Amino acid sequence: MARKLTRSRDEKMICGVAAGLAEYFDIDATIMRLIWVVAVLMPGPNLIIIAAYLVLCLLMPLKTANGAS
């Protein structure tokens, strides 16, 4: 069965993007959240990182209750 990129319904803190990406890449959601925080706090294109998060929040479908998108 193919993996689908969806926002998490259960482990979300803001929009569920980081938890959805963590589930897709099969890593812990806390690690993915730390990656986002470090990326935002680094000097440089942090506004692009924030914009990417917002775009993913709008474009990634929310995981349904039965686990499908």
Contacts of 54 (CB under 8 A, 6+ apart): none
Query: What tens digit of pLDDT does each residue of 13-66 get?
Result: 888 888 889 989 999 999 999 988 898 888 888 888 888 889 999 998 888 776
Domain hosting residue 30, numbered range: 17-59
Instruction: Identify whether 47 is part of a domain.
Output: yes
Q: Is the pLDDT of residue 68 over 60?
A: no
Instruction: Identify whether 69 is part of a domain.
Output: no
* pLDDT: which is higher, 20 or 67: 20
* pLDDT: which is higher, 4 or 25: 25
User: Tokens in use for 52?
Assistant: 């990417």
The total domain count for the chain is: 1
Query: Can you tell me the distance from the alpha carbon of 15 to that of 63, in angstroms, rounded to the nearest whole number?
Result: 12
Torsion angle of the four alpha carbons 19, 12, 8, 30, in this order, in degrees rounded to the nearest 10: 20
Query: Can you tell me the distance from the alpha carbon of 8 to that of 32, in angstroms, rounded to the nearest whole number?
Result: 13
Contacts of 65 (CB under 8 A, 6+ apart): 9
pTM of the predicted structure, to 2 decimals: 0.78
